[in-house]
Amino acid sequence: MTAACQTEELPLENAPELAHNGGGLLEDRFLKNVASILCLGALLAWGFAQGAPAPQSSKDGRVLYKWLDKDGVTHYGDHVPPEYATQEQHVLNSQGYEIRHQGAQKSAEQMAADDQKRLDAEQRQIRDQNLLNTYASVQEIERLRDQRLTLLADQIKVTNQFLETLNGRMKKMRVDSQRYKPYSSDPKAPSMPDQMAEDLVRLSTDVHTQEQNLKQKRSEEATMSIQFESDIDRFKELKHMQ
């Protein structure tokens, strides 16, 4: 046989406040609170009637469980129904005191989010330790930042110059290709030589490659600048600097 009941919780200490909201509301909620106490007492008495000892901890014998259903209604019983087994539960002893609390089981998404938070915290800790172990001052971070940004700026300059050279060759080759089919409008124009066609394709590929390199270098430059500024700010926080 299973004992269970339900009621809506209302702390008694809220009674003075409710009195200002009208006698009817106070009386209704007060009766619900009394019903909750009577319900819990009845369940405890039922446990004694079954010959079970009054436990002071969850290991001493029969205990009562308290849980909420899908509508938020509080229930008490000698066990939690299977459909609520994964939800938050409270275990009460014979005196009605909570002796154990079991949180609701987390979904796969919640557990994944917790794992990500833990991983982020570990990575922050590693980053902080690396900052403290690598640098002795803000000036050291700024010096390394300037060196790396200067190197990237030089690479960007060289790539940009090479790209300008390729674009100049491409412009000249396109002008030359106008004398041949299929670019020439003259029906008597000869077909473009195979070597010239290959050179045009290869040059187009080189231009595209260098454009991508230039774009990547500029992206690295922006990312590196932001990362160093973040490192400087964090280093100041760790060192309690203004």
**CA–CA separation, 127 and 57 (whole Å):** 45
Same domain, 92 and 179: no
In a domain, 126, yes or no: no
Half-sphere exposure of 133 (CA within 13 A, CB side): 6
Average pLDDT over residues 30-36: 50
In a domain, 117, yes or no: no
Same domain, 49 and 142: no
Contact 3, 78 (CB under 8 A): yes
User: With bands split at pLDDT 50, 70 and 90, how would you rate the model's confidence at 5?
Assistant: low
**CA–CA separation, 166 and 163 (whole Å):** 5
In a domain, 114, yes or no: no
In a domain, 128, yes or no: no
- The dihedral built from the CA positions of residue 168, 172, 177 and 183, taken in this order, carries a sign that is positive
Of 17-31, 114-128, 187-201, the poorest mean pLDDT is in: 17-31
User: What domain count does the chain have?
Assistant: 2
Contact 65, 77 (CB under 8 A): yes
Using one digit for the tens of pLDDT, what is the confidence trace for 174-193? Answer: 999 999 988 898 888 999 99
CB atoms within 10 A of CB 183: 14
**CA–CA separation, 168 and 57 (whole Å):** 86
**CA–CA separation, 94 and 56 (whole Å):** 7
Same domain, 177 and 220: yes
Q: Is residue 66 exposed (0-12), middle (13-18) or buried (19+ Cβ within 10 Å)?
A: buried
pLDDT the model gives residue 223 = 97
Tell me which of 102, 125, 152 is where a domain ends. Answer: 102
Same domain, 59 and 144: no
Same domain, 95 and 175: no
In a domain, 55, yes or no: yes
Same domain, 151 and 232: yes
For 141-173, b where at least 16 C-beta lie within 10 A, e where not — what string? Answer: beeebeebeeebeeebeebeeebeebeeeeeee
Same domain, 146 and 197: yes
In a domain, 29, yes or no: yes
User: With bands split at pLDDT 50, 70 and 90, how would you rate the model's confidence at 221?
Assistant: very high
Say how many residues make up the chain: 242
Same domain, 12 and 77: yes
Q: Domain range holding 57?
A: 4-102
Same domain, 43 and 92: yes
